[in-house]
Amino acid sequence: MAKRRYVARGVPGGYRIWDTKARRWWGDHYELCPDDLLAELNGFADPSRITALLKRYRALRR
């Protein structure tokens, strides 16, 4: 199995996405682990699908 570029890391209060190639945080702070977003980022990385997932996770925070 290939090494994954994006991984979820636990931080106080939830999760953040760590970019292993750029060595920095990617995206927002999430209360729940964004499994489907991680799968899309590490998989096909379709921009429209990523945008839809980001909108969904932002709506969950409200």
Q: What percentage of residues in the chain have a pLDDT greater than 90?
A: 84
Looking at residue 21, its amino acid is K
Q: For residue 62, what pLDDT band results from cuts at 50, 70 and 90? A: low
Q: For residue 60, what pLDDT band results from cuts at 50, 70 and 90? A: confident
pTM summary value? 0.87
pLDDT tens for residues 36-58? 999 999 999 999 999 999 999 98
- DSSP state, residue 14: E
Which residues constitute the domain of residue 40?
6-61
Which pLDDT does position 29 carry in this prediction? Answer: 92
Number of independent structural domains in the chain: 1
In a domain, 38, yes or no: yes
In a domain, 12, yes or no: yes
With H, G, I as helix, E, B as strand and everything else as coil, classify residue 54: helix
Residue 2 pLDDT > 80, yes or no? no
